């Protein structure tokens, strides 16, 4: 009897949790949803005086470590990312990752630059990177 109650409870929970595939998060105003596609800018090193533009639109300032959804700014095909700094910076450490489906992220650009290896970071300047979002 106890086994039957447990099986009945398990079947009820499975039926309630199962749902249908249409029970997904609705798209937001930027057109993204929890199931992809989605593009994220991941900043791993905070720096003052840094501005990040994607395809000519400012998306971050690197004042703190952060992850930001930039899906509404990128497009399928070639994209450009420009990093500008108005004072010397010690380090640039960031990634742009694309996921065509939920939790399927792949890095499309990785920047790990240090002032000890790149003298350009020791004075105001900029770097531009190009990357491709698969279509």
pLDDT in tens, 66-105: 889 999 999 999 999 999 999 999 999 999 999 998 888 9
Residue boundaries of the structural domains of the chain: 35-133
> Does the pLDDT at position 27 exceed 90?
no
Q: CA-CA distance, 79 to 107, in Å (whole number)?
A: 14
Q: Mean pLDDT throughout 24-33?
A: 51
> Does the pLDDT at position 25 exceed 50?
no
Q: CA-CA distance, 24 to 33, in Å (whole number)?
A: 8
Q: What's the predicted TM-score (pTM) here?
A: 0.71
Q: Which H/E stretch holds residue 8?
A: helix 2-18
């Amino acid at each position: 009897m106890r086994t039957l109650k447990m099986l009945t409870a398990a079947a009820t929970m499975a039926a309630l949790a199962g749902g249908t595939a249409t029970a997904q998060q609705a798209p937001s105003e930027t057109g993204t949803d929890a199931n992809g596609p989605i593009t994220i800018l991941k900043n791993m090193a905070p720096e003052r005086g840094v501005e990040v533009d994607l395809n000519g639109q400012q998306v971050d300032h690197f004042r703190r470590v952060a992850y930001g959804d930039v899906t509404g700014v990128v497009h399928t095909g070639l994209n450009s990312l420009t990093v500008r700094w108005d004072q010397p910076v010690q380090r640039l450490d960031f990634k742009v990752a694309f996921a065509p489906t939920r939790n399927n992220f792949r890095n499309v650009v990785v920047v790990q630059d240090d002032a000890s290896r790149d003298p350009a970071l020791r004075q105001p300047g900029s770097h531009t990177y190009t990357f491709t979002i698969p279509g």
